[in-house]
Amino acid sequence: MDATPFLTLSALLFTIGAVGVLVRRNAIVVFMCVELMLNATNLALVTFARVHGQLDGQVAAFFVMVVAAAEVVVGLAIIVSIFRARRSISVDDASLLKY
Amino acid sequence: MTEVLPADGVFGLSWLLVAVPAISAVVLLVGGRRTDRWGHLLGTAAPAFAFVLGVVLFVALLGRGEQERRVGQQLWTWFEVGGLRADFGLLLDPLSALFVLLITGVGSLIHVYSIGYMAHDARRRRFFGYLNLFIAAMLMLVLADNYLALFLGWEGVGLASYLLIGFWQHKNSAAVAAKKAFVVNRVGDMGMVLAIMLMFATFGSVTFEGVAAGIEDASGATQTALGLLLLLGACGKSAQVPLQSWLLDAMEGPTPVSALIHAATMVTAGVYLVVRSGFVYETTEVASTAVVLVGLVTLVVGAIIGCAKDDIKKVLAGSTMSQIGYMMLAAGLGPAGYAFAIFHLITHGFFKANLFLGAGSVMHSMHDDVDMRVYGGLSRLMPVTFVTFAMGYLAIIGFPGFAGFWSKDKVIEAAFADNIWIGIATILAAGVTAFYMTRLMLMTFLGDKRWKSDVHPHESPATMTIPLVVLAVASVLGGVLILGGWIGHFLEPSVGPEEHHDLPIPVLALTAIVTLTVAVGVFIAWRTYGTKEVPVTAPRGSVLTRAARADLYGDALNEAVLMRPGQWTTRWLVWFDNRGLDGGVNGLAALIGGTSGQVRRAQTGYVRSYALAMLGGALLVVVSLLAVTLA
């Protein structure tokens, strides 16, 4: 099996996610981009699992999914409460925790 | 020295000599105000009891054979560390017995006197507490059978003198004088401490017996070092040059304290130490010569200072220095002089206590003014003080028949036999003594009245005059101790047999020369102060007079040689500590603080910049892993 198309797609998705995290200000979008990176990673994990004929990668992907789900729950709750308090979900506005 | 026998019978009580005054001091000082009403009575009873017990022990000692007159009492083991075992032991022998009698006898009289002298002082009870502490410490000093217990008493004496000199602590001068006495004594104490350490290191023992047994076999350097260190200690306590400066300032204390320091306790400790450590000085020519020189210099310096002072107590203080110098000199002469040093010490104790208490009586009636230039003509108003003071005066100048005549003459004889120049110096100093004491007598008791208008002199109460009378009698009769060479013979078990010396001239001729010199001194003083009016303000005086008024620049010397360089050193050290050490540490801290202040700017609070940093970091890790793998 040729893994190159899968890995290319994975790298592409990861890059899009990373750039999204870096350049977007909307917290929801940043969050989605993080999810994109996680899923890109999952793809790479599953691909390598197939290549090597082992289940380790797939198991890891499942873990990532579970953690991502939990993270979404907590993260969205935080975003909602920040929005309620400040009427804004721009990540640049929430910059009080600094030197 | 003869063997030490265990204490039996009445000698088992010798510990009470130290304990009773010590307990009395504790009661008075811890009991506080509750003991105010009867404090002075208890304070006087304690040394009086010690005196009675001292007499009993003395008689018991006389009742024994000559070879059995050294009695030791081991009380308990003080401490035992490694190879060092210090027993708390007492030694009652002829030497310490004489000291016990002097300390408790003269001490008790001074206590009685203080009842009257301090009657109007609100802190009288505390004063008696300190006096008792002084007596207890001094008795500890002379009764110890080892150098360590002696040192306990030694330090106790230093402490008590500090408390008493600074008793009127509201006066700045008294507080400063007390501090000075303490600090100067500390220098001498260092000598004692080092000597004790050296003894332990060399002999493994600090008892008199142990050191005496080992000293012969020790190296010459050790013997000399031991002698010089002990001499340093003796100089501090006995106010000998170069540690003499505290004694004149110590006059700030109440007059009974001066009497106690000068006559019975404190300054005699140095002489005691040298005589007690005779076995050390007999092995080392250098140290014993140093003792003689110290004594010689001090006796001349003290006499010169005494001539120029107008403060009645300071004249007496100068004379104490001078007389202690005589004793030191005699003690340094070895077996030929020990007995005479102690003899002079005892007679000096009598007449100097007499003189100081007499001076106190005069001050008492002159509103505590000490300037002799405003005295004069007191002999008729204070007859008892005058007559008793005159007895002390005749004793100190060495008027034939009085106590000082016998004792000083013996010291001069011993000095003469040793070295003719030292002998001549002691004779001249005797003449100077006669001069300044006559000056004091004339300015205080005779001549015109020069009192200030509000002063009404009167005789002192009986509590003050009775001790004066007793001491005056002792000053007259103190010479009996030498009859038939008794004192030398009595002290033999402690200091060894008296060495007989050959004089280049007959003894009688020497005595005549001394008496003649004294007469000349008296005559010059009479010509200067007896026939002319004494000016109320001191004339400028010659160079020597001005130098003597300034204590022969002893303080200036100390200041220039020790104090100033010491201050410079401390200032430099403080500077080095602040700038050098602290500067380095503080600089490092400031550097780290500044750097972190810059670094924390990176924490902007913008999530996206953190994300960038994370990405960059992750990329860095990946790139470096790849680089390692591919390389």
At B504-562, the pLDDT tens digits run: 788 888 899 999 999 999 999 988 888 887 777 777 778 888 888 878 788 888 888 88
Please, are residues B256 and B359 in contact by the beta-carbon 8 Å criterion? no
**A21: nearest CA in chain B?**
B608
Among B269-283, B491-505, B573-587, which stretch is predicted with the lowest mean pLDDT? B491-505
pLDDT for B206 equals 87
The pLDDT of A61-73, averaged and rounded, is 94
CB contact under 8 A, B604 and A91: no
pLDDT, tens digit, for every residue of B44-55? 999 999 999 999
CB contact under 8 A, B607 and A91: yes
Rounded to the nearest angstrom, the minimum Cα separation between A11 and chain B is: 13
CB contact under 8 A, A22 and B611: yes
| B73 DSSP β-pair partners | B90
pLDDT, tens digit, for every residue of B357-379? 899 888 888 887 888 888 888 88
pLDDT for B597 equals 92
B320 has pLDDT over 80: yes
Residue B600 contacts A where some CB pair is shorter than 8 Å: yes
CB contact under 8 A, B605 and A18: no
- B366-377: string of b/e by CB count within 10 Å (b at 16+)? beebbbbebbbe
- Helical H segments across B217-311, by residue range: 220-238, 245-249, 255-259, 267-276, 278-281, 285-308
- Helical H segments across B63-166, by residue range: 94-117, 124-143, 147-165
- Confidence class for position B585, pLDDT limits 50, 70, 90: very high
**A25: nearest CA in chain B?**
B608
B69 has pLDDT over 90: no
pLDDT, tens digit, for every residue of B121-179? 888 899 999 999 999 999 999 999 889 899 999 999 999 999 999 999 888 999 999 99
pLDDT for B592 equals 95
CB contact under 8 A, B606 and A95: yes
The pLDDT of B245-269, averaged and rounded, is 87
pLDDT, tens digit, for every residue of A8-52? 999 999 999 999 999 999 999 999 999 999 999 999 999 999 999
Residue B603 contacts A where some CB pair is shorter than 8 Å: yes
The pLDDT of B614-630, averaged and rounded, is 94
Alpha-carbon gap, residue B112 to B259, rounded angstroms: 13
CB contact under 8 A, B605 and A22: no
The size of the A-B interface in CB pairs under 8 A is 32
- Confidence class for position B576, pLDDT limits 50, 70, 90: very high
The pLDDT of B400-421, averaged and rounded, is 88
Alpha-carbon gap, residue B239 to B258, rounded angstroms: 13
Neighboring chain B residues of A25 at a CB cutoff of 8 Å: 608
What is the average pLDDT value for chain B, to the nearest integer? 88
pLDDT, tens digit, for every residue of A83-98? 999 899 898 888 888 8
Query: Is the pTM above the cut of 0.90?
Result: no
CB contact under 8 A, B615 and A91: no
CB contact under 8 A, A22 and B601: no
CB contact under 8 A, B601 and A96: no
Task: Report phi then psi at B333, rounded to 5.
Answer: -75, -5
pLDDT for B588 equals 94
Task: Report phi then psi at A40, rounded to 5.
Answer: -60, -40
- B53-86: string of b/e by CB count within 10 Å (b at 16+)? bbeebbebbeeeeeeebbbbbeeeeeeeeeeeeb
Residue B598 contacts A where some CB pair is shorter than 8 Å: no
B1 has pLDDT over 70: no
Rounded to the nearest angstrom, the minimum Cα separation between B607 and chain A is: 7
The pLDDT of A53-57, averaged and rounded, is 91
Q: Which long-range contacts (CB under 8 A, 24 or more apart) does B522-528 make?
A: B522/B397, B522/B434, B522/B435, B522/B438, B524/B435, B525/B434, B525/B435, B525/B436, B525/B438, B525/B439, B525/B442, B526/B438, B526/B442, B528/B439
Neighboring chain B residues of A21 at a CB cutoff of 8 Å: 608, 611
CB contact under 8 A, A91 and B608: yes
Please, are residues B503 and B510 in contact by the beta-carbon 8 Å criterion? yes
pLDDT for B491 equals 85
pLDDT, tens digit, for every residue of B199-246? 988 888 888 888 888 888 888 888 999 999 999 999 999 988 888 888
Neighboring chain A residues of B617 at a CB cutoff of 8 Å: none
Residue B596 contacts A where some CB pair is shorter than 8 Å: no
Query: A interface mutation test: which of B598, B606, B614 has the most A CBs within 10 A?
Result: B606
Alpha-carbon gap, residue A65 to B360, rounded angstroms: 105
Going by C-alpha positions, the residue among B314, B307, B315, B297 that lies closest to residue B544 is B307
Alpha-carbon gap, residue B303 to B300, rounded angstroms: 5
CB contact under 8 A, A99 and B601: yes
Cα dihedral B552→B558→B559→B560 (10° resolution): 90
Neighboring chain B residues of A96 at a CB cutoff of 8 Å: 605
pLDDT for B47 equals 93
